[in-house]
Structure 1
Amino acid sequence: MGKLATFFEGFWPFVARIILRNRVWWIAGLVLLTAFFVSQWKHVKFSNEETSVLPTDHPEIIKYTQFTDVFGAEDNAILIAVEGRDLFTANSFNAWNRLSKQLEAAPEIVSVVSLENIEEIVRTGNQLEAQAFNPREALSDENAKSKLYHLFERLPFYENLIYDPNSRAIRTIAFMDPDVVNTKVRSEFILNEFKSLVENFERVSGADAKISGMPYIKTRNAETLKKEMILFVIGALLVTALIFFFFFRSYRATFISMVVVLIGVSWSFGIIGLLGFEITILTALIPPLIIVIGIPNCIFLINKYQQEVKKHGNQARSLIRVISKVGNATLMTNLTTASGFATFIILSSSLLREFGIVASINIIGIFILRSEEHSL
């Protein structure tokens, strides 16, 4: 321990002098490294899947996989529902059927179950035949009502599938192509074409359509994640900037520290892209995490620097002394924090493992950035 302490006593002043003497090269290196990480942003993608925290070999995941192997997975169904009375006019009834046809024509949809294409069994003489429930458009409001009442009262086979017997809600079920359910194509379809079709139906009919189903929920969750990640980053920057300014009353110090954490945030996205990871509900927390970890250490280092400057007024000597005095403490603090997040790496869950890798790398990265900032 004595030898290690002696080593670090000389190590930090040496590092400070190297940085001070070659500050132009260090700044150039930081710019190039930041530019490299920014170039990796093009590989950053938001996850299109609902990633489980449980590992693939967990007993519950194994049971679920066995179940879906036997019975299949219905995670590609989108449900649209309206109240039955909203379709009591010929205009809204026909608009509902047109919506089903438009969805069925979309290449992302493989099949649709709706009023427009269901069949009923009718007796013709001594034979039973399947006939289309809705062979033509409703010609009048009374015609639309009679079709719906016929569905409610004479076709119990479609109960809880096409209609709800209690609320009299009418449903359309659109099944997406399983090959695109967990891809970017799903999000583009839901947010653009599907949303436009439903809004057009609501505008024509005056009905309030309710939408559910895993493809729709996944897309909405992904969009919410994007918006909230930006909100968290902006919020973390504003709060920490205000706290920093209240401590030092210095626009310059606040601006420099904000630049440092913004570079750290850009590195975090670059590392995610470089490693080929996707932004999930956990990795989306890393940018604000870097901000709230980086700013307190900036406060600590700048406070020590100002104390040293007041003693003798020599900025270069103050920088060397600050790094010499607090280098070990800040290094161990950040190593401890990074090690805590790095424990996730040993877990079987890919979601937690990716979070641990990116978080631990970025915590060490923000430590290096802070050290260079106060030396430069």
Structure 2
Amino acid sequence: MTVNRIVNKFEYALFRHRALVILAFLAATVFLLVKATSIKLDAAFTKNIPLKHEYMQTYLRHAQDFGGANNILISLCDESGDIFNANFFDTLRQAHDELLYTSGVDRVQVKSLFSPSTRFVEVVEDGFAGGPVIPADFVADNTGLAKVKENTEKAGIVGRMVADDYSCAMISAQLLEVDPDTGDKLDTIAFAATLEQNIRAKYQSDSVSVHIIGFAKMVGDVADGAKGVLLFFAIAIAVTTIMVFFFCRSVMLTILPIACSLIAVVWQMGLLSVMGFGIDPMSILVPFLVFAIGVSHGVQMINSTGKRVAAGMDAKTAAQASFRKLLVPGGVALLSDTVGFLTLLIIEIGVIRELAITASLGVAVIILTNLILLPVLMSFVRFSQRYKDKVAAPSPTADKIWFALSAFATRKYAAVILLITAALFALGYMQSQQLKIGDLHAGAPALHEDSRYNQDTFLITERYAISVDYLNVMVETIPSACTEHDIMARIDNFQWLMENVEGVQSAVSLASVSKSINAAFNEGNVKWRVLPRNTQSLVQASSRVETSTGLLNADCSVMPVILFLQDHKAETIERVVAAAKKYGAELGDEQTRFMLASGPAGVMAATNEAVSAAQQPMMWYVYGAVIILCLLSFRSLRATISVIVPLYVVSVLATALMTKLQIGLTVSTLPVIALGVGIGVDYGIYILSNMTQMLRDGAPLRQAYFEALKERGSAVLFTGITLAIGVSTWVFSALKFQVDMGILLTFMFIVNMLGAILVLPALAAFLWRKN
């Protein structure tokens, strides 16, 4: 049975039972609307990391002993510039206790000056003396504060728990994956709100400022910024509605595609809820894209139906004819979008996979709402005679524009267009080779530099000696390895080599601490700051280091080397990881392995490598899917080439634009390329579907293209401009990643439209020589 016969049978059944179809859609919409109201923002830490990556396998293997990368840092700063006063220490103690008893915090891992595990050791005449930095009988008077300051200096925590200039003190904590109070996955966004309410709001005052950073806090700030997406969604609906009205000049024809597109969004959100998914802050932009895609296909439908009504058909017959004409090209375009989005599933990062499911689900339901429901609804519309006369009236200006554009289907002008396209492609390709994988700016890339989160990050980085961007290289070896000089010497050598790598601010390990302790056993003489070769002396030096320091596990079979980086820029992480692999391979053996990686920078390194590895396969899968669907639809290699080539050129130019604007390829920007390809293919499919039959019948190419522009040109121009205007408003967003996505999508929507109108006919001029 041919495709046309299937379409005809489906059309007959659909329009024969129009009332039942509308009732079925109404019932499904009400049900899914109820489900959609229960959907929640969902931002778990593990969704944002590639769990199957080798670095993350190391991270997960040792998370219980050394904590994870999902940490929170809270810095309290005294506005006078000196923390040693009674008010500050009272505030610090209360904030420490508040965080300690906050649900979702691993209490064992909460560290500050008030933690019992924060201790000092000193060399005295009788040997060693030590104790908690803040003694049990501490009183915040001049004597007590002076004693704490002295103990702080002895403990060697200045620059880590206390700012270099004594203006701030730090509270750090690790978060649990499961909330012990509820037994459910920790609600990261709710936890961030708790930090704001119970820490910042409660303890910030004129004399003490509070600064909070960490993954959970960053996600909370992103979620707050994402609430502004609702405003952009409302603006997009308003702008699109106005544009649709000016396009069709009918209130009813304006309402129908907008309503059907909104129904698609409701179905998308409802189905996500039914499937047990929430919506991640990174995916919250997808419903807008679904709405925009729905409107673009809806406009094609109302444009086609309106012209048939103006030609003398009644509403039902015109709607049926438009359904027959557009179901296959529209369906192929939407299937291309869906398959393109599904290719993102190859990236083993939860947040991208959920985005792929969210986007593909939304686009798939458009096939139902805008290609099936919309023509059925339009069959009931009563078109006024005024509307028919207006549409039927000749438009000499439009015809002149379309005829002028059709000149690009002649070889004379086509050659010029193709030369310009080739030059742009060559320049874009060279520029795109400089694309960086990862973040290119300091601070959280999802937020603007002037955001409170990034300002807190900059303050902590500036006032403390350690960086918030640290990477742990886990040295996996034999039990009691800290008593083996050869193994400890290799760890020490590795640390020294890494400290001399550009981008590493400082480093610490059990080996370096043991050297300091050994010197302390020898009257503090720096000449003894070495690793003892004698086993008993080495045991004496290393046994003083507790597991709570995070420098060794219980049986001393795993000892991290902690590298504090200057920043988390892509080139810094890449350079440090390459050096760690090189030196680890040189110094390691079967007994002692230098395994990457843990810590926030380790997670970023794994994520960058996962994104880099997925970039090319994703593009091959996207284009492979689009090529197969075009071949099946047009049954023509020439038609497929005409659609794909402009699309690929735009992808390369978009990548070049990213390098020019210093936008790195990250978890948030990688999906944009696939989204742009998926949506951009629609223009070419609609234009070429109108041309191919005429070309098969032997019509001249220019005439075929001219007729396609008369039929579809205005709708293609309209959708390209409308989509671009909608996403261009994102440049005003509070979220940096939304700004980046807005710029890239605006570029891809406009340039893909130009590619379909200019480059597609130019290619056709050389591919259809006989025409």
The residue matched to 1:362 in structure 2 has which SS?
A: helix
Change (3 A) 1:61 1:133: closer
In structure 2, distance between residues paired with 1:343 and 1:105? 43
In structure 2, distance between residues paired with 1:49 and 1:251? 47
Counterpart in the other structure of 2:193: 191
Counterpart in the other structure of 1:200: 202
Q: Any stretches of 5+ residues in structure 2 without a counterpart?
A: 378-771
Give the deviation of 1:263 after TM superposition: 0.8
Does 1:58 pair with 2:53? Answer: yes
Counterpart in the other structure of 1:98: 94
Output the amino acid matched with 1:51. Answer: K
Counterpart in the other structure of 1:339: 339
In structure 2, distance between residues paired with 1:291 and 1:240? 10
Output the amino acid matched with 1:375. Answer: V
Contact 1:44–1:272 (Cα < 8 Å) also in 2? no
Output the amino acid matched with 1:212. Answer: I
Contact 2:121–2:131 (Cα < 8 Å) also in 1? yes
The residue matched to 1:80 in structure 2 has which SS?
A: strand
Output the amino acid matched with 1:170. Answer: A
Counterpart in the other structure of 2:213: 212
TM-score of the pair, normalised by structure 2: 0.42
In structure 2, distance between residues paired with 1:16 and 1:261? 21
Output the amino acid matched with 2:215. Answer: M
In structure 2, distance between residues paired with 1:100 and 1:44? 30
Question: Counterparts of 1:1-376 in structure 2 under 5 Å?
Answer: 4=2, 6-8=4-6, 11-12=7-8, 14-41=9-36, 42=38, 44-52=40-48, 54=50, 56-66=51-61, 68=63, 71-83=66-78, 85=81, 87=83, 89-109=85-105, 110-111=107-108, 112-117=110-115, 118-120=118-120, 128-130=129-131, 133=134, 135-139=137-141, 146=146, 149-150=149-150, 154-166=153-165, 168-177=167-176, 179-180=178-179, 183-192=185-194, 195-203=197-205, 205-224=206-225, 226-280=226-280, 283-312=283-312, 314-345=314-345, 348-370=348-370, 371-376=372-377
Give the deviation of 1:244 after TM superposition: 1.5
Contact 2:119–2:155 (Cα < 8 Å) also in 1? no
Give the deviation of 1:366 after TM superposition: 0.9
Output the amino acid matched with 1:130. Answer: G
Give the deviation of 1:291 after TM superposition: 1.0
The runs of at least 4 consecutive aligned structure 1 residues that moved more than 6 Å come to: 122-125
Give the deviation of 1:114 after TM superposition: 2.5
The residue matched to 1:87 in structure 2 has which SS?
A: coil
Change (3 A) 1:164 1:188: same
Contact 2:290–2:362 (Cα < 8 Å) also in 1? yes
Give the deviation of 1:158 after TM superposition: 1.7
Residue correspondences, number: 365
Change (3 A) 1:183 1:99: same
Contact 1:114–1:173 (Cα < 8 Å) also in 2? yes
TM-score of the pair, normalised by structure 1: 0.81
The residue matched to 2:179 in structure 1 has which SS?
A: coil
Change (3 A) 1:297 1:201: same
Contact 2:204–2:210 (Cα < 8 Å) also in 1? yes
Change (3 A) 1:321 1:223: same
Give the deviation of 1:27 after TM superposition: 1.7
1:128-151 per-residue CA deviation (whole Å, 9 max, x = no partner) reads 352562644434xx6687467546
Output the amino acid matched with 2:131. Answer: A
In structure 2, distance between residues paired with 1:185 and 1:44? 10
Give the deviation of 1:369 after TM superposition: 0.9
Q: Any stretches of 5+ residues in structure 1 without a counterpart?
A: none
Contact 2:76–2:168 (Cα < 8 Å) also in 1? yes
Give the deviation of 1:67 after TM superposition: 5.8
Contact 2:287–2:362 (Cα < 8 Å) also in 1? no
In structure 2, distance between residues paired with 1:163 and 1:296? 57
Give the deviation of 1:334 after TM superposition: 1.8
In structure 2, distance between residues paired with 1:281 and 1:105? 27
Give the deviation of 1:268 after TM superposition: 0.8
In structure 1, distance between residues paired with 2:124 and 2:327? 91
Change (3 A) 1:169 1:53: closer
Give the deviation of 1:198 after TM superposition: 2.3
Output the amino acid matched with 1:251. Answer: V
Change (3 A) 1:5 1:201: closer
Change (3 A) 1:186 1:375: closer
Output the amino acid matched with 2:237. Answer: L
Which has the higher mean CA deviation after the structures are superposed, 165-174 or 296-305? 165-174
Change (3 A) 1:81 1:291: same
Contact 2:138–2:144 (Cα < 8 Å) also in 1? no
Identity among equivalent positions (%) equals 18
Contact 2:134–2:148 (Cα < 8 Å) also in 1? no
Give the deviation of 1:282 after TM superposition: 5.2
In structure 1, distance between residues paired with 2:277 and 2:239? 29
Give the deviation of 1:90 after TM superposition: 3.1
The residue matched to 1:161 in structure 2 has which SS?
A: coil
Give the deviation of 1:48 after TM superposition: 2.2
1:344-365 per-residue CA deviation (whole Å, 9 max, x = no partner) reads 3466555444443443333231
In structure 1, distance between residues paired with 2:158 and 2:42? 38
Greater RCO, CA 8 A, separation 6+ = 1
